[in-house]
Amino acid sequence: MIRTVEAVIDEDGNVRLLEPVRPHTARRALVTILEEGPVTQVSESALLSEEALAQDWNRPEEDEAWSHIQPGR
């Protein structure tokens, strides 16, 4: 099974996984280095708007409008 795990690479090249990984045996891994730096915190405006947006987005009309891109629903 292929699994993606977020990690941070410091200036010395040390890789620190952001969640525990416990494979049963040794595994190969690929590292993709992204252009942007790590996300260190969620913006306050995103947190403050989440509840208001959820009221609009979590409606049956919204589910129907986007159902064409959600196979199996």
Is residue 23, in this structure, part of any structural domain at all?
yes
Smallest CA-to-CA distance from 30 within 43, 20, 15 is with: 15
pLDDT digits (tens, 9 = 90+) for 46-68: 888 888 888 888 888 888 888 88
Is residue 37, in this structure, part of any structural domain at all?
yes
CB 17 within 8 A of CB 31: no
pLDDT digits (tens, 9 = 90+) for 26-46: 999 998 888 877 666 777 888
Is residue 2, in this structure, part of any structural domain at all?
no
Is residue 42, in this structure, part of any structural domain at all?
yes
Give residue 60's domain range: 7-69
Is residue 63, in this structure, part of any structural domain at all?
yes
Is residue 1, in this structure, part of any structural domain at all?
no
What local confidence, expressed as pLDDT, does residue 15 receive? 93
Q: How many domains, the chain?
A: 1
